[in-house]
Amino acid sequence: MPMTPLQKKLEVTCHNCGFSTVCFPRGLTQQEIRQLENVVQRRKVLHKGEYLFRSGDPFHGLIAIKSGMAKLIYHDDQGEEHVLQVLLPGELVGFDALSEEKYRCSAQALDTLSYCELPATQISRICFRIPTLLNEMLKHASEAIGTQRDQTISIKKPAEQRLAAFLLDLSRRYAFRGFCGDDFNIGLTREELGNHLDLALATVSRTLKQFEKRGWLEVHGRRIRILDREALERLLQD
Amino acid sequence: MPMTPLQKKLEVTCHNCGFSTVCFPRGLTQQEIRQLENVVQRRKVLHKGEYLFRSGDPFHGLIAIKSGMAKLIYHDDQGEEHVLQVLLPGELVGFDALSEEKYRCSAQALDTLSYCELPATQISRICFRIPTLLNEMLKHASEAIGTQRDQTISIKKPAEQRLAAFLLDLSRRYAFRGFCGDDFNIGLTREELGNHLDLALATVSRTLKQFEKRGWLEVHGRRIRILDREALERLLQD
DNA sequence: CGGAAACTTGAAACCTTTCAAGAGTCGTGG
DNA sequence: CCACGACTCTTGAAAGGTTTCAAGTTTCCG
C-alpha cells in the first residue's frame, strides 16, 4: 500500500520518537540518528500473547519496544519457564542472543505492543559507520548484565524486600521513560510475578495485601498506586 | 630493565598463549592477533587477597585471567557482599563496567594470579581496526548476560541442585580450558560458596557431605573429585 | 450473564536457616 | 618438629520463612 505524502510525514522515525534518548539513538548526533533510522525497521504491531521472538529462533535483530509491555521468558533444561524481565516502552532486548546468533529467551507481548528492530545483518555495518553507536551497543549489553545481576541479588532477599524492590524498579523505569511512576501496570499476573521473584503465587498475593494494609500501596489487580514510596525504600535498607 | 633477545622470545604473548581460542583473541586470524597483542598489557601478577579492580574504580580495561583464580564480588546498596562469579584462567571480566565507565564489582585474587588487560582507551580503536573483534566483544558481553542469567535460574532451585549445578558448571569450564574436569579446586570457602549460591554455610557443608556419602564426590577441603557425574546430572533433571 | 481465569486466604508441611559446640586444618614461630 | 592460634569446616537441634494444598471469592471477557 503506497503512502500519501501526509502519512509519510506523520510516520514516527527515530529522530522524532519520544524515546530517542533511551533507545537505539541514545548518545547519537542528529546526523547519526538519520543514518541509523535508515536501517531500523519501524513499528511492527503484535497482539497479546504473540511473540517478538522465541527461544532457539535464529537471531534476526535487536528489538526496541515502542508501546505496550512484554515479558522475557527463559526455558531451562528441565523445561521450566522463568520470567526474567518485564519490558517497558523504550527498552531494548536481544543482546543475550549475540553470543550464539540465536535467541536464548522468548519475548511475549503482555498486551497490544509495537516495536522497532535493528536487523542482525546491519549491526556490524552500522556500528562501523557510527563509532558512537559501537560504544552505545557495548553499553546497552553492559546494562543488560547489570539488570540480570540485580535480579540475582533481589532473589536472595526476603519476600517483602523482593516485591518492594520490584515495584520501585518498575516505578523508576516508568518515570524515566516519561510515564507516571506512582500509578502503573505491572503487566504480570500474580503467578508470573511470583515466578519472576521466585515466590509462590500465594506469597505474592499475601505480601501485596500486607503493603496495602500498611497504607503503602493501592492495589487494583495489576494496577499499582504507590502511596508511601519512602516506606518501601526503608524496607530495602534493613 | 631491557630484555635480552632470549627473554623476549620466551615471553608469552597472545599468539602463543594457550588460551588464544577462548580469550580476547578468540575468532581472530593470526595477523589480527598480532595487532591485538600490541595493545594488550600482559602478565601482571597479584597475590591472594589483592584486587584486580574494586567497585567504583574508574574503568581502566577488560581483564583476562591467565593463571590462578579470582572471585567477582558485588556490594549492594545495603553494603552486603555477593559473590557473583568464580573466574578461571582464560576467562574475561569487566564487561559490566562499560555502561558507566566504572567497575560495578570488585575482583579479588583467590590465590596467586596473573592476568592480561585490554586497556579501556584502546577498546573502540582496536574494534574499529579489527571488525571481527567488534563482533567478539559483543559476543563476550552477551555471554556475560547468559552467565548472570544462569546464576539467577540456579538460585531458584533446591539446595542440592544448586550445588550440583555449580560443580558441573565449574567442571565444564575447567575442562573447556584444558584443565582436569574431574578433580579441581573450587577456590571459594564454604561461606563464600554459600553466599554465591544463596545457601547458609552449614547447608553447603551438609549437602557436600551428602554427595560424598552417596559416592558422587570425594571432598578434600576446597578440592573436589567428581566420581559419578551422571548422578549429579540426573539430580538436575528432576 | 455464565464460565474460566485470576486472586485471596487459612492451615499444615517442609526446606533451609540460625545457633551453638566441637573437630579439623593450616601456617608460623619457638 | 611440634605447639599454638586463627580460620575453616562439620554436625545436631530448634526456629522460621515460604510453600503447598485447598477452598472460596472476585474479575474479566465473550
- Residues B12-34 pLDDT 10s: 789 889 999 999 999 999 999 99
Task: Nearest by CB to B138, from A141, A149, A151: name it.
Answer: A141
**Residue A128 sits at the chain B interface (C-beta within 8 Å):** yes
Instruction: Flag whether pLDDT at B2 surpasses 80.
Output: no
Among B43, B144, B134, which Cα is nearest to B89's? B43
pLDDT at B12: 77
All three cell numbers of A136, joined, read 552505545
pLDDT at B1: 47
- Distance from the Cα of B5 to chain A's closest Cα (Å) equals 39
What is the rounded average pLDDT of the residues B23-49?
A: 93
Q: Residue B10: which pLDDT band, with cuts at 50, 70 and 90?
A: low
What is the rounded average pLDDT of the residues B100-109?
A: 97
Q: How far apart are CA A56 and CA B83, in angstroms?
A: 30
What's the CA B189/C1' D1 distance, rounded, in angstroms?
A: 29
Question: A99 vs A102, A226, B137, B138, CA distance in Å?
Answer: 8, 39, 9, 7
- Residues A158-204 pLDDT 10s: 999 999 999 999 999 999 999 999 999 999 999 999 999 999 999 99
Q: How far apart are CA A118 and CA A38, in angstroms?
A: 10
Could you tell me what percentage of chain B is helix, strand and coil, using 3-state DSSP and rounding each to the nearest 5?
Answer: 45, 25, 35
Instruction: Flag whether pLDDT at B183 surpasses 70.
Output: yes
3-state per-residue secondary structure call for B125-136? HHHHHCHHHHHH
Q: Which parts of chain A register pLDDT below 50? A: 1-3, 5-7
Cβ of A142 within 8 Å of Cβ of B95? The answer is yes
- Residues B203-219 pLDDT 10s: 999 999 999 999 999 99
Structural domains of chain B, ranges and CATH numbers in brackets: 5-154 (2.60.120.10), 157-237 (1.10.10.10)
Task: Nearest by CB to A155, from B76, B139, B156: name it.
Answer: B156
Which pTM was predicted?
A: 0.94
Contacts of A78 in chain B (CB under 8 A): 236-238
A153 with A146: CB under 8 angstroms? no
Instruction: Flag whether pLDDT at B5 surpasses 80.
Output: no
Window A168-197, strand D contacts by Cβ < 7 Å:
194
pLDDT at A40: 95
DSSP B33-68: HHHHHTT-EEEEEE-TT-EEE-TTSBP-EEEEEEES
